[in-house]
Structure 1
Amino acid sequence: MLDDIDRRMVETLVEDARISLKELAQRVGLSSPSASERLKRLEERGVIRGFTVDVDPAALGYTLQAIVRIRPLPGKLHVVQDLIQQIPQFSECDKVTGDDCFVGRLHIRSIDELDTILDRIADKAETSSSIVKAQPVKRRLPPLL
């Protein structure tokens, strides 16, 4: 569990991972050494896994996103999983329960690119894809209770 100061630290870092330690300490009402120690403990506990950059795929020419449900053919689960991991356009993929085994998010430049990627999987799995029109909820943290 997180106490109020830890929550405020995490929320502040989610907003701006590049914030200086001095500014972070000021925002949460601690000295820099105390903030540094708390930050270290949050990392050691695995609450904070890393600091990253948020890149807009559209700025790199990936103007389309597709959600793809993938159901491997019998005996092809591991082959399909390895293939998904090798295709760089998959920005994320979840192994799920239910009718499908995988649900992936692809960033693509065109429908032709989507077809080319799905063709690589077609002899190993059934797929169902949907083009993303909008993303009303961006990836976010669960409540920090």
Structure 2
Amino acid sequence: MIPKQSASERTISLDAVDREILFILQQDGRLSGADIGRRVNLSQPAVSARIQRLERQGVIKGYTALVDPAQVGLNIHAVVRLRTTHARIPEALALFTELPEITAAYRLTGEDCFLLDIHTPDAAALARVVDTVGRLGPATTSLVLDEYQKKPLPQP
């Protein structure tokens, strides 16, 4: 049996330049290697090599576009806290992947088991999603009134 690694054993060692590159990429993932290099005083090839290493190590998990949900017709944003039994967690995870309206799912400690981020075009669609996940256990729904910009991860 392979011993399980602790969180500190899985942590990648990053120097100050790596951390600065990560901070820059979290603010604008479309910057060129040359632009990032100018900001961290490295050549474009050196920056590209560091970024590729961070990607291989799994520190950088991917790149994505931030889409305004309302601009694509998803006018309702809600969060749902779901309480279920431990035995139904695999069923819940499978259901979450089947529902495209669930854009993020977080497993929690405490009374609730999951926090779900949901985007729908209207209240009727939200009701269908809530009713679907509610079959797994009590669900509490809150509408998101406003969303504030996500900040880059802090440096430890």
* TM-score, normalised via structure 2 length: 0.82
1:124 to 123, 128, 136: 136
Report what 2:71 is aligned to: 59
Distance 1:99 1:66 in 2: 19
1:140 to 127, 151, 155: 151
SS of match in other structure, 2:29? coil
The Cα of 1:73 is off from its aligned counterpart by: 5.4
Q: Does the C-alpha gap of structure 1 residues 48 and 7 become closer, same or farther in structure 2, counting only changes over 3 Å? A: same
Overall identity of the aligned pairs, in %: 31
Conservation of the 8 A alpha-carbon contact between 2:76 and 2:126:
no
Report what 1:19 is aligned to: 31
SS of match in other structure, 1:54? coil
Equivalent residue letter for 2:152: L
Distance 2:42 2:136 in 1: 55
SS of match in other structure, 1:66? strand
**Following superposition, which runs of at least 4 residues in structure 1 exceed 6 angstroms of deviation?**
none
1:45 to 48, 57, 60: 57
The Cα of 1:67 is off from its aligned counterpart by: 0.8
Conservation of the 8 A alpha-carbon contact between 2:102 and 2:116:
yes
Conservation of the 8 A alpha-carbon contact between 1:91 and 1:106:
yes
Report what 1:6 is aligned to: 18
1:32 to 44, 60, 66: 44
SS of match in other structure, 1:125? coil
Distance 1:79 1:116 in 2: 18
Distance 2:59 2:87 in 1: 37
* TM-score, normalised via structure 1 length: 0.87
Give 5+ residue unaligned stretches, structure 2: 1-12
The Cα of 1:74 is off from its aligned counterpart by: 7.4
Distance 2:113 2:73 in 1: 29
Distance 2:139 2:66 in 1: 29
Conservation of the 8 A alpha-carbon contact between 2:20 and 2:40:
yes
Conservation of the 8 A alpha-carbon contact between 2:82 and 2:134:
no
1:110 and 2:122 matched: yes
Q: Does the C-alpha gap of structure 1 residues 75 and 9 become closer, same or farther in structure 2, counting only changes over 3 Å? A: closer
Equivalent residue letter for 2:63: F
Distance 2:17 2:100 in 1: 38
Aligned residues: 144
